[in-house]
Homo-oligomer: A and B are copies of this chain.
């Protein structure tokens, strides 16, 4: 039933060590013996047991990936970048959804460590600090996404959120908006704080003072975006542009604006962030900042594999560049 190296060795009339060499395509076996072994492998239908190999070599060729939620449309493409690249290098991917909960992150971090994955790709949560220590203690190569962690000696792959926020608001400004509402992500979430910084920088550059009333905090969901804009509207606040820190919230804004029959982009212009697939489907199509999600996943794996092979090197911080995608929720530049 279950055929092992020993069986192959017996069948081929050689030692197990020889079979091992052949199976792993290594030097030092005569062509004759190699052929014999291969024939035996074929005949018996031998398949190497990776678990046993892992136990011996301390390499599983499995990588762990922890994201908040695959159901958030930003992540599928990132995951695809991870799985494709991993596959290229001969690695498999263990996937876990944390919902951004500290305990869940902790749980999967531990499970992955015990499973002896060769590396972990980790997307942070709000209260990430709580797990920073655990992350540092785990004696496993890792890379953190969407957050700069250089000082903690953990490699990082992220798109430049400050530039992204800056690009979004600059575009709004250039298209004529003057009072720009930002619906930021949750406070303390670094990527959304960075986008807020970009927002301020753009205003600053255009000589416009930052109005605290125009800074609202959402939760990265569509409903949250809708609720946030609704609250602002009810407060009777005046604004002619909205920068939402992600597309889901921007879509919520668009939905609410449509419900109240406020024309976009004529009266209010809207820019989102991420460029999720629906952004282009909605009416009006959403102007947004595209994050290179696939590439983030791709770079994460490359960085991780590099870390696996040279455990000593200085952790790199790879910063990718976001891009403005102009569609119909903003007017043309003046």
Contacts and interface: CB of A to CB of B under 8 A. Distances in A.
Interface of A: 1, 47-52, 54-55, 60, 62, 69-71, 73, 75-77, 79-80, 83-84, 87, 92-97, 110-116, 139, 251, 255, 277-278, 281-283
In the complex, which of the residues A1, A111, A255 has the most CB atoms of chain B within 10 Å of its own CB atom? A111
A225 to B, nearest CB: 12
B93 A95 contact: yes
A70 B62 contact: no
A83 B97 contact: yes
Contact of A97 (B48, B84, B115, B283): B84
Nearest to A115: B50
B83 A96 contact: yes
A50 to B, nearest CB: 5
Given A69-B80, A80-B97, A251-B281, 5 more contacts: A49-B55, A50-B115, A70-B80, A93-B94, A282-B283
Contacts of A48: 114
Given A79-B70, A277-B278, A50 B116 contact: yes
Contact of A51 (B55, B94, B97, B277): B55
A98 B308 CA distance: 26
A51 B62 contact: no
